[in-house]
Chain A
Amino acid sequence: MLKGRAFRFGDNITTDHIIPGRYAHLRSNLPELAKHILEDADPTFASRVKKGDFIIAGSNFGLGSSREHAPLVIKMSGVSAILAKSVARIFFRNAINLGLPMLICDTDKIEDGDKLEVDLKTGVIKDMTNGNRLTSGKIPEIMLRILNQGGLIPYIQKYGDFKL
């Protein structure tokens, strides 16, 4: 069971919001890069986020670049899962490939600061602040197996190949 606070963002949060291109020189210095996470969307996020917290977004989260550094710094910041109404394709694969859960659900009723409990096994999300209960959409079986191994690299180390 994952437990944490909700940090709310809107629709169309881009990979440039998450890690702007102007910090490309920090991509091999991830702890330094992580200090700038989401700063163009919420400059206070990096200093406020705590281990276990959730990013709550609207539609098309993570659109833009293929930079895997984006979900990587989100994971490094302690975020335990991202909940969004929809997610851009490359970001979705990248998050799962890093073992960062990405749950697709109707996030409209989750307010900034709400306390959430997320059960990854059942996909049930409980908003402990307002009492709402949500269920996340299913993801393809292969993504679930990659996520369960903690990401693509551990998955390949274990199986040596893709298994359908």
Chain B
Amino acid sequence: MGKTLAERILSQKSGSEARAGDIVIAQVDLVFAQDTTGPLTIRQFQAGNLKRLRNPKKTALFLDHAAPSPSFSISNDHRLLRQFAQEMGCLIYDVGGGICHQIVAESLAKPGEVIVGADSHTVTAGGLGAFATGMGSSDVATIFALGKTWFRVPESIKIALSGKFPRGVGAKDLILYLIGNIGADGATYKALEFGGEGLAKMSMSDRFTIANMAVEAGAKVGLSPADSTTRDYLKSQGRGDHYQPLSADDDASYEKTSNIDLASLEPMVAKPHSVDNVAPARELKGTKIQQVFIGTCTNGRLEDIASAAGILKGERRHPETRLIVAPASPQVLLAAIREGYIQTMVEAGAIILPPGCGACLGLHQGVLASGESCLSTSNRNFKGRMGSPEAFIYLASPATAAATALTGEITDPREVI
């Protein structure tokens, strides 16, 4: 019997015949933590008397969640991470260096690798065909020292995509639609494996977006095959030698297959307070929005900023709607400056944040007041996530976000393009 992408990668990295349901010990090729999970990771590492890193050059710390630091207690955490990196000789991406998942995608992840991060959105690198998943600080501290961990080989759900996105519709709408269908625990412990001719035509940026939100359906990974699009992306990042093709076998066994015709989709929004509480944007017309946030590991890439800038060009944000934009990495920020998108956005009334997680998790840079509503391109709308527990978070695409910034209420972007 053939192998799914998950079985293929875990077989290779465990040196065994890994089948769904098996428990295997697999080599971890890249391991990382960030500034909200890293300090506990270091304390667990020290509590276990684990003295050195197994692969310092394949171990990374990212200072991205609160960057630059908004409080002295977080500054102390940052100092701890810097000291650890210096002592251990691991990679460190300091404040302003970008969101961990974006940097992993741009610079570090390779198809066929196993990647573990102390951050649930580590799944993003699944877009490159890496078995990338989030774990907590104890697991990550152990991987720091051993370079391996145990996995239950997940059953895979195949998401077979056909057709092409209509105008104004994109990867965010697809993944919101899918999560709305299967639910916030629809893929718990399982792998989502994206495929079909619709996926083959999809850009890397879009593949990262759908991989990123696999965890919002409970999935362990959200995998795309590695194909010519993957190869071209790695080449464009100066990493052509990191490419290897990766695909599932035709006779692989899936728990189930869902078929989605991209042409049938429309702009979608996840309403408060759960990601599977999904409705078409047009049905939410009239919902007033005080803050629009464009960025994050889900939708802070150049294509996302281009999509929003295209709608904002020559326009001005609604006077009662703040517009906050955070490019996901310095590379994205520089390209957005070069392409004129940043100028367009500032002229439209946007606030540009440094590369980082920004307002996504309610730490700083756009914390919501009680009673306020935010439309965000991020991945979670949980109660209390972006500030007040009495605030409301709506999730949508960068196009819907830009359209909403102009009108001050949730707006289907097809109305303004």
Residues of A within 8 A of B (CB): 12, 14, 16-17, 20-22, 24-29, 39-40, 59-60, 63-69, 71-72, 86, 88-90, 93-94, 97-98, 140-142, 151-153, 156-157, 161-162, 164
> Considering the chains assembled together, what is the distance between the CA atoms of A67 and B136 in angstroms?
6
**Cβ 8 A contact of B136, one of A24, A39, A94, A141:** A94
Flag if B138 contacts A68 (CB, 8 Å): yes
Residues of B within 8 A of A (CB): 23-25, 36-37, 39-40, 44, 47-50, 65-66, 70-71, 73-74, 76-77, 80, 117-120, 122, 134-139, 141-142, 145-146, 148-150, 152, 184-185, 188-189, 218, 220, 274, 361-363, 367, 380, 382-387, 389
**Cβ 8 A contact of B218, one of A89, A151, A152:** A89
Inter-chain contact count A-B, CB under 8 Å?
A: 149
Flag if B139 contacts A93 (CB, 8 Å): yes
Besides A24-B361, A72-B40, 11 more A-B contacts (Cβ < 8 Å) are A22-B363, A26-B73, A28-B77, A66-B37, A67-B36, A89-B218, A90-B135, A93-B139, A97-B138, A97-B139, A156-B145
- Which chain A residues lie closer than 8 Å to B389 at the CB level? 20, 39-40
Flag if A157 contacts B139 (CB, 8 Å): no
Flag if A63 contacts B185 (CB, 8 Å): yes
- Shortest beta-carbon distance from B276 to chain A in Å: 9
- Shortest beta-carbon distance from B49 to chain A in Å: 7
23 A-B interface contacts by CB (under 8 A): A21-B361, A21-B362, A21-B385, A24-B36, A24-B361, A25-B66, A27-B39, A27-B40, A40-B384, A60-B184, A60-B185, A66-B136, A68-B40, A71-B136, A89-B189, A89-B220, A90-B135, A94-B137, A152-B138, A153-B44, A162-B25, A162-B146, A162-B150
> Considering the chains assembled together, what is the distance between the CA atoms of A88 and B186 in angstroms?
11
In the A-B complex, the 4 residue pairs with the closest CB atoms: A68-B136, A21-B361, A94-B136, A97-B138
Flag if B71 contacts A60 (CB, 8 Å): no
> Considering the chains assembled together, what is the distance between the CA atoms of A57 and B37 in angstroms?
25
Flag if B149 contacts A157 (CB, 8 Å): no
